[in-house]
Amino acid sequence: MAFYCSRLLGLFLLCSSSSVVGYVRAQFLSPDFYNSSCPGLVSIVQAEMRREVAAESRMGASVLRLFYHDCFVNGCDASVLLDDTQAFAGEKNAGPNARSLRGYDVIDGIKAKVEATCAAIVSCADILALAALEGTVLLGGPSWRVQLGRRDATTASQSAANRELPSPSATLNDLISLFVSKGFSAQEMTALSGAHTLGSARCVNFRSHVYGDADVDPAFAAKRLRNCPAVTGFGDDNWEPLDAQSPAGFDTAYYQNLMLRQGLLRSDQELFNGGSQDSVVKMYSSNAAAFRNDFAAAMEKMAAMSPLTWPNGQIRLNCRRVN
């Protein structure tokens, strides 16, 4: 049975379905949700992420992106972690995710450790929310409060993932309207894009911008294109850092790069291209505290997108499939 819920006065959920309309005592997200049922949860996630990021710093970025791609498609419900089944085509093979999203095995590893301590208690969605924070913090990023108590989806939608994740060739207007449709202001979109101070992108996603667009620094283009042949189908999956100055450090270099016409993606450079976000990019480029603050606040907001709570969803035992 499908329930549609919205927050009311922070006290109750108003829930309705085709057969039930009424007030239901809420099970709210709270940072203390597992304090008694799984007190070791946060330290398990921290230890596992520390190990993973020490082995490969980029994994902190990859897990942050995994969480964002989960939240933007039907909320933070771990739907992105579901493998395809005969019943549905999952999100993993959607255009923005296929051959691109990383970190599934890291989440599986954390989940196994958590199950060994607190069996069938902690959702994959909450593990992903905690791991994304940890990955960010380990790379020097800000911290935010992680609310817990999400439950896991029993289905995933490839078509929604194709529709609701932004394209690297998006214009500024595309980006703003997509983020506004998800409840974020243009400035919050620009702050969240600062995640591209971390991690890498593939040739197939930056080729046309770096080869073709007029607003690209030529010396930067020459470097980025050494490993990205002009011809489609050649070197498509070759990765280059989104922020070549400091790909494993959460800092303001991403914004400084944009002001130097060194945005790797068309969608990055759109934020500093004579439009409404130029002043925000300038401000973040020289005000690390403002960037960190705004990024953390926007991540806390992202983490609260359409949470799936009891009586909906389930606690998946294996993040890759429904129970």
Ligand X SMILES: *[C@@H]1O[C@H](CO)[C@@H](O)[C@H](O)[C@H]1NC(C)=O
> How many angstroms separate the CA atoms of 68 and 319, rounded?
17
Burial class (CB in 10 A: 0-12, 13-18, 19+), 69: buried
Residue 298 · residue 262 · CB < 8 Å = no
Residues 159-198 contacting ligand HEM, CB under 6 A: 166-168, 170, 175, 189, 192-193, 195-196, 198
In angstroms, give the least distance from the CB of 171 to ligand HEM.
11
Query: What is the 8-class DSSP label of residue 318?
Result: B
In angstroms, give the least distance from the CB of 195 to ligand HEM.
3
Q: Is 32 in the site for ligand X (CB under 6 A)?
A: yes
Residue 126 · residue 283 · CB < 8 Å = no
In angstroms, give the least distance from the CB of 125 to ligand HEM.
16
> How many angstroms separate the CA atoms of 88 and 81, rounded?
13
Q: Is 155 in the site for ligand X (CB under 6 A)?
A: no
Q: Which of 29, 201 has the CB closer to ligand HEM?
A: 201
Tell me the H-state helices in the chain: 41-55, 58-71, 104-117, 124-138, 158-164, 172-181, 186-193, 203-212, 218-225, 253-259, 266-269, 278-286, 288-302
Q: Is 207 in the site for ligand HEM (CB under 6 A)?
A: no
Helix axis angle, 58-71 relative to 104-117, nearest 10°? Answer: 80
Burial class (CB in 10 A: 0-12, 13-18, 19+), 218: exposed
In angstroms, give the least distance from the CB of 267 to ligand HEM.
4
Binding residue for ligand HEM, selected from 34, 38, 52, 62, defined by CB under 6 A: 62
Q: Is 69 a catalytic residue?
A: yes
Helix axis angle, 172-181 relative to 186-193, nearest 10°? Answer: 110
Q: Which of 141, 313 has the CB closer to ligand HEM?
A: 141
Interface region with ligand HEM, contact rule CB under 6 A, candidates 36-44, 115-123, 201-209, 222-230:
201-209
Q: Is 237 in the site for ligand X (CB under 6 A)?
A: no
Q: Which of 200, 285 has the CB closer to ligand HEM?
A: 200
Which listed option, ligand X, ligand HEM, none, makes contact with residue 65 (CB within 5 to 8 Å by class)?
ligand HEM
In angstroms, give the least distance from the CB of 83 to ligand HEM.
19
User: Around Cβ 302, how many Cβ atoms within 10 Å?
Assistant: 22
Q: How many residues bind ligand X (CB under 6 A)?
A: 2
Residues 33-92 contacting ligand X, CB under 6 A: 35
Residues designated as active site: 69
Would you tell me which residues interact with ligand X (CB under 6 A)? Answer: 32, 35
